[in-house]
Amino acid sequence: MLNHTCVMCDEGLLIKKTVIDNVDFKGQVLKVPNTHLECNLCGCIELDNEYMKVNNRALNIEKKKALDLFTGSEIKEIREGLRLSQTEASAIFGGGKVAFSKYENDDVIQSKSMNTLIGAANRIPDLLPYLVSQSSLSTSPKFQGDYEDVYLEEDFNPLVECKNRPSIFVVEASQEFDSGTNGYTELQCDDAA
Ligand SMILES: [Zn+2]
């Protein structure tokens, strides 16, 4: 893009420029970065497909924040914490085959209900095995038996959770997978009483 000559005046150089636009959105004013090429001679603005994509993503990020929805990077963090690929997450949560790629790139704003489901799977440790059991991945070897142990060990510490929320029951992955309980045994926190 450097030294790209302006097509309008055929003399000036197009320089990459980012400005902050004020965008009205549902009664709020969003500050959204807008990147484009501007001629240093005639001031003409050129937008190619790549910049339009970048600008649309920047706008979607601000809209997600305004709507109190997860941004793309937050969804990616949750998905990786659940040890899911984008394809697996799309199969489990819905939204179409490439839904999570679109959510995480901020090409698409997820629905409120999708957002709630993703947030619930992140907060409630035995929700994911249930969602998997209802999905096309229910027979996938990855999700048989010990999958819960894998993500619970690294991302979820029942005792820490317990101290923060002393009145709740916590679940812990059992050694033997039990299809009747989805592999979990309910335990009560020591400090719950
Ligand atoms: Zn020009």
Average of per-residue pLDDT values in the chain? 80
Measure the CA–CA gap between 88 and 102, rounded to whole angstroms. 14
CA of 5 to the centre of ligand 1 (A): 8
What residues contact residue 179 under an 8 Å CB cut-off, 6+ apart? none
CATH 3.10.20 residue ranges for the chain: 4-66
192: confidence class by pLDDT, cuts 50, 70, 90: very low
Measure the CA–CA gap between 129 and 147, rounded to whole angstroms. 9
CA of 14 to the centre of ligand 1 (A): 7
CA of 38 to the centre of ligand 1 (A): 8
CA of 50 to the centre of ligand 1 (A): 20
CATH 1.10.260.40 residue ranges for the chain: 72-192
CATH of 72-192 among 3.40.50.620, 3.30.1060.10, 1.10.260.40, 2.40.50.100 = 1.10.260.40
What residues contact residue 187 under an 8 Å CB cut-off, 6+ apart? 158, 169, 170, 171, 172
Looking at per-residue confidence, does 76 or 153 come out higher?
76
CA of 37 to the centre of ligand 1 (A): 10
Closest CA to 192 of 160, 167, 159, 174: 167
CA of 4 to the centre of ligand 1 (A): 10
Measure the CA–CA gap between 117 and 11, rounded to whole angstroms. 54
CA of 32 to the centre of ligand 1 (A): 25
CA of 94 to the centre of ligand 1 (A): 47
68: confidence class by pLDDT, cuts 50, 70, 90: very high
Q: What is the pLDDT of residues 79-89, one digit of tens each?
A: 999 999 999 99
CA of 6 to the centre of ligand 1 (A): 5
CATH of 4-66 among 3.10.20, 2.60.40, 3.40.50, 1.10.10 = 3.10.20
CA of 144 to the centre of ligand 1 (A): 62
Measure the CA–CA gap between 98 and 82, rounded to whole angstroms. 18
End-to-end CA distance of the chain: 65
Looking at per-residue confidence, does 103 or 159 come out higher?
103
In whole angstroms, how large is the CA radius of gyration of the chain? Answer: 23
* Beta-bridge mates of residue 21: 32
CA of 56 to the centre of ligand 1 (A): 25
CA of 55 to the centre of ligand 1 (A): 22
Contact 93, 78 (CB under 8 A): no
